[in-house]
Structure formats: structure tokens, C-alpha cells
Amino acid sequence: MQVRSTLSRMTPYVAGERRTDAIKLSSNENPLGPSPAALEAVRRALDESHIYPDGALRGLRTAIAGHMGTEPEMIIPGNGSDEVLTMIAGTYLNPGERVLIGEHTFSQYAFAARLLDAEIERVPMPELRLTPEAILRAVAARRDPPRAIFICTPNNPTGIAFTRAELRHVLDNVSERTLVVVDHAYQEYATSPEVADATAMVNRYPNLIVLRTFSKIYGLAANRIGYGVATAERIAELERVRLPFNVNGLGQAAAIGALGDDGFVVRSLETNRRGDERMRALLAELGYQPLPSEANFLCFPVGGDARAAAEIIASHGATVRALGSFGLPGHLRVTIGTDQQIDVLERGLRALAAQIPPDARSDHGARTGAANSGVTAGSQQ
């Protein structure tokens, strides 16, 4: 039995490492755990575990729409935003159609595109930042416009975000036939007033779809709840490929409960702010230079093999993410944790710093930042 030819170019997703003897700072999860209101909603919903969930997702759509200030018809929930990505690919992509994706970004955009045998082009990020100019150069490189553009902002794994002006510049200068998918998984953590909010632009740009998730700020990663926001016309098109009962009943209850827990969001943001300040000060003391971040993680060059660096840190009690699969073999991504978690992380970082001199760290960061130019094509996991 032969599989489709495109599958030979696909690699299963590899999640952040989880060890029983270490705290997990490798997957950008909320260090405070899940929203207490979400947990209480799940407890109440357990008694109906024998009943199929609301297949139309009416309650969840209504709750999200009320929270976002939009209409339920403009919301499509999924089994994580990953499933919404595959819905988008199944609805709009045909074999051979061109899709633009940043050179260093979340792998599931390429996964969804390759699943439908689309042609993937990597937009360069020479300073580890995806820019409107680089995107539009890639768009103009061929006569036919790309079928889709995927933009992660704040970007995973760098944490750098588009401004409103930058995102509008892209949307105003691409064909209406080009779908622009903006992934806002970390949007709630953004603090700069200039950071783009694509959700507010959906009514103006009918070719825009925005992805959001409950996995990060609301602490519901295990419940797998994500959603897309777009015009009612786009959502109706996506509905054609949505699987029946794609969001389980406990997940629906958890998400609805979490949306009403404003206090938990405030505590999460304050924990992230304090942790960001402490971790940046610690990294600076040790000679590391983290990138700017509007998310709940920091990315920085380590001056050597990031896998070996991650192993050193893990041996002292904290797992972090080596970014070779993102095309950054000399960088680590570390979730911003609580004070107790940073205490553990500090031991690992100090052990790492003792093995790699500061000049090696800075040299490697400079080489990586200037490594690539031009539009590239290839796989990324």
C-alpha cells in the first residue's frame, strides 16, 4: 500500500520535551495552570460525558463572539488552532499552489499546506524578523499571486510582533485572491500599543482569517480549543470541511468558563511581566542577548549546539526548547515561568554559561542573523 507522494516530504510534529524529573518550560504553557473558572465548568460538564457535545458549537461561538465584539457567524472553533489550519488548507489550497511562510516560524503552517500538496516558499528573516517588505518581495517574485500567506504575530519562536501599520501594509498590497492567515496564539500577552490586532481588521479585509487559542493565556492546552475569526462568508466556506463534534464537550465548557475569568488573565499577565523582567536581567548578567518579545517566552542564541545547551539545562531541572527544527540550531526558546520555576531555570542557565564563553555566544548570534537572503523553499518542522 503506497501513501500519497506528498507524505514523503512531511515529518510528524515534535512537541516540547516533557520529563518527570524537570519542570516544563519548553512549550509556552501558562505557568499558573488552567483558569479556575474553566476547571469548575469542566467539573459541572462531567455529568454529561455520555452525551454528544453541541455539534453546532452555538454556546461556544456566542461566548467567543461576545468576548471579541463580533458575531457568532464569524467564529469557527477547532480542536486547537492546528485543526483550523487544516480546515483552511482543505478549503482553499490546491496541489501546486504557492503558499508563503516565514523562514523561522511555527511548523504547522507548512504541515497544513503540504498536506494538500501546495508549494511552500520560505520568506527570509535575516534579522529573525518577518517584515512586510520581505513578504511583498516574495509576492512580486512571480506573476501569479500566492494562494495564501501565513503570518504568526507575535511570532513563534522569536516573540517579535507585527505593528498595525505593518500588517495593514501587507493587506493593502496583496491581491484579494490571496488569503492572509494571521496566527494570534500569543496576542493576549502583547503589551506594546503598536502591536497589530488582526481581529479588528476582519470586516475590512474579506481575505483575512485570524487564528486564536485557549492554550496559552487561559491555560487550556490539554483541552485543545482554538478558533478562527473571519467574515461570515469565509466561515461558511470553512464549515464545509469541519468534522462533526470536532470540539469535545469538556473543552467547550472549559473555554466558555475561561472567557469569564478576567481575574485569571490579569494574574497571568502580571506573572508574565515580572518573569520577563527577571529572566531578561538574568540572561543579560550571563552574557546572553534575548530577542524582543511580545509573548510568554524568550528566544536567544547560545553560541553552540542548542540541543546540547538544552540538555545541560534539563539536567538541572528545567526543559527548554532547542530551535533546530525552526532553522535556528544555535537558539533556545524558554517559557517565562513563575519565580519558583525561574529559580530552577537559573541553575541550568548558570551551568550553561560556565561552559560557553560570552564571545562565542555573541559571535554565533551575529552569524545566524545574517545567514539567509532571498526567497527559499523547503520543509520546516
CA distance 5 to 197: 38
pLDDT average, residue stretch 159-166: 97
CA distance 55 to 61: 11
CA distance 249 to 251: 5
Best CATH choice for the domain 5-31+262-369 from the list 1.10.260.40, 3.90.1640.30, 3.40.30.160, 3.90.1150.10: 3.90.1150.10
Residue 2 has a pLDDT of 76
pLDDT-derived band at 5 (thresholds 50, 70, 90) equals confident
Residue 268 has a pLDDT of 98
Residues near 299 by Cβ (< 8 Å), separated by ≥ 6?
Answer: 128, 157, 158, 159, 290, 291, 293, 323, 328, 331, 332, 333, 334
User: What class does CATH assign to 36-259?
Assistant: alpha beta
Of 235 and 13, more confident = 235
pLDDT digits (tens, 9 = 90+) for 39-90: 999 999 999 999 999 999 999 999 999 999 999 999 999 999 999 999 999 9
Where are the chain's structural domains?
A: 5-31+262-369, 36-259
Show the beta-strand stretches assigned E in the chain: 23-24, 75-79, 98-102, 119-123, 148-152, 179-183, 208-213, 225-229, 297-301, 318-319, 321-322, 331-335
Q: Taking 80 as the threshold, does the pLDDT of residue 124 lie above it? A: yes
pLDDT-derived band at 18 (thresholds 50, 70, 90) equals confident
Amino acid letter at 304? G
Q: What percent of the chain has pLDDT over 70?
A: 91
CB of 123 closer than 8 Å to CB of 375: yes
